[in-house]
Chains A and B, each alone.
Chain A
Amino acid sequence: GEDVEQSLFLSVREGDSSVINCTYTDSSSTYLYWYKQEPGAGLQLLTYIFSNMDMKQDQRLTVLLNKKDKHLSLRIADTQTGDSAIYFCAESIMNYGGSQGNLIFGKGTKLSVKP
């Protein structure tokens, strides 16, 4: 079945890089996403990567995808206190017609940034 696993906690110092890891099981996943959730808020889409890509960079965010090991990571450079939040990895399988299907989420990684 489909499953997404993440470590639950990560603590870093302000200015350091953060690396949040995720593994997924569905080999037919076509889209992989990273969402951010701040306390009391909904989910904010940070970035996404297609399963035919290895890497994607977007300002301070770098996503790496290892399809062989079904491993996805999100690196946040120069982590700030405002980056403290829960980060969710999610996978989606392409529907008939080419659009994304429903999202399957991990339990989330709580990132704490210490000043």
Chain B
Amino acid sequence: ETGVTQSPTHLIKTRGQQVTLRCSSQSGHNTVSWYQQALGQGPQFIFQYYREEENGRGNFPPRFSGLQFPNYSSELNVNALELDDSALYLCASSRRGGIYGYTFGSGTRLTVV
């Protein structure tokens, strides 16, 4: 059983640019969530996808958007990058109807300069 994999592991972007982060969910999982973890903070919920549709969203602006594909993998897109977007971005997968928590990937460290 493979876990959650994220790519790339590290990324440096310039303010104003756009970035796409990718996630492959754990085998058997059909729901994907994205979290932002700033340095020294707990993860903050960005949004969740189920059946290729957004299924819940946290307090993040529209320039944060996502996709889920038929194989349950997912992308997080961030437009017009700001310095405060520098963080660890975590993808988590789960099974709809499941109650045993989420499986997290190792994250993508995004630095905006």
Taking beta carbons and an 8 Å cutoff, which residues of A are in contact with B? 4, 31, 33, 35, 40-45, 48, 50, 88, 90, 97-108
Contact = CB atoms under 8 A, between A and B. Distances in A.
Interface in B89-110: 90, 92, 94, 96-107
Q: Which of A33, A50, A98, A102 has the most CB of B within 10 A?
A: A102
Contacts of B2: none
26 contacts: A31-B99, A31-B101, A33-B101, A35-B104, A42-B90, A42-B104, A42-B105, A42-B107, A43-B43, A43-B90, A45-B103, A50-B99, A88-B42, A88-B43, A97-B97, A99-B97, A100-B98, A100-B99, A102-B33, A102-B45, A102-B56, A103-B35, A103-B43, A103-B45, A107-B40, A107-B41
A25 to B, nearest CB: 14
B98 A99 contact: yes
